[in-house]
Amino acid sequence: MVKKRMCRTDVPAGDCLCDHCTAKCCRYFALAIDKPEEQRDFDFMRWYLLHDRASVFVEDDNWYLLVHTVCKHLQSDHRCGIYMTRPQICREYTTDACEFDDDGVYDHYFETAEQVVEYVEATLNHENLGSLRSPEPELLPIL
């Protein structure tokens, strides 16, 4: 039997939302980045994506570097192992707008450097940016 995914509205009154969550907020961090506008910016984006567990997304015209990594203090029961001494950013985080039942759909989502090249070629006047693709290799000599 497939268990139905719980929605925010299904959480019993008085329960803490975190009691029904797998700690999505503790399994990544996202940093705002400048909107890429020139070749160097897109090249940096490609470099980010050459690293394991990194992606870039756009939401409401804001660009972010997303690093998929689990907090060192996340316990197997999805609870914080340093709750009483957790960083201020964690203390200020609320469940009001958390991604508990969010599908994570973004305006744009990049997982590979090749997707960046395809995006530039499909959407921008890339002739002014120069080529992000490697040049074709020389043909091998015929023996």
State residue 91's pLDDT score: 94
Name the pTM for this structure. Answer: 0.79
State residue 45's pLDDT score: 97
One-letter amino acid identity for 47? Answer: W
User: What strand order describes the sheet that includes 54-59?
Assistant: 29-33, 62-67, 54-59, 108-110
Residues 28 and 67: beta-carbon distance below 8 Å: yes
Dig out the tokens for 28 from the structure.
């990544």
State residue 132's pLDDT score: 60
Calculate the CA dihedral of residues 14, 15, 18, 21 and round it to 10 degrees: -140
Residues 118-136 have pLDDT tens digits of 999 888 876 655 556 666 7
| Non-local CB neighbours of 21 within 8 Å, separated by 6+ positions | 78, 98, 100
